[in-house]
């Protein structure tokens, strides 16, 4: 699998997890930041970052 395909697949899975987790969050609280930690998000293509901007 090409590296970019792997990264895109990872982010698709991550976004699905966000959707699942947000069902359990207090809707009155604003999420203003997501700390990725443990890696370098600047490695990922701009399109992938844009997908994750809520």
The predicted-structure confidence for 1-28, as pLDDT tens digits, reads as follows: 677 788 778 888 888 988 898 889 898 9
3-state secondary structure of 45: coil
Q: Which of 53, 40, 45, 41 is nearest to 8 (CA)?
A: 45
Name the residue ranges covered by the structural domains of the chain.
3-51
Residue with tokens 């991550």: 14
Q: For the full predicted model, state whether its pTM sits above 0.75.
A: no
Query: How many Å apart are CA 43 and CA 24, to the nearest integer?
Result: 30
Which pLDDT belongs to residue 38?
Answer: 66
Beta strand ranges found along 2-53 (DSSP E): none
Q: Counting beta carbons within 10 angstroms of the beta carbon of residue 14, is it exposed (0 to 12), middle (13 to 18) or buried (19 or more)?
A: middle
């Amino acid at each position: 699998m090409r590296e970019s395909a792997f990264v895109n697949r990872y982010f698709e899975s991550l976004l699905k997890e966000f959707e699942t987790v947000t069902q359990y969050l207090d809707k009155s609280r604003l999420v203003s930041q997501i700390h990725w930690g443990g890696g370098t998000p600047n490695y990922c293509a701009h399109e992938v970052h844009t997908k994750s901007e809520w």
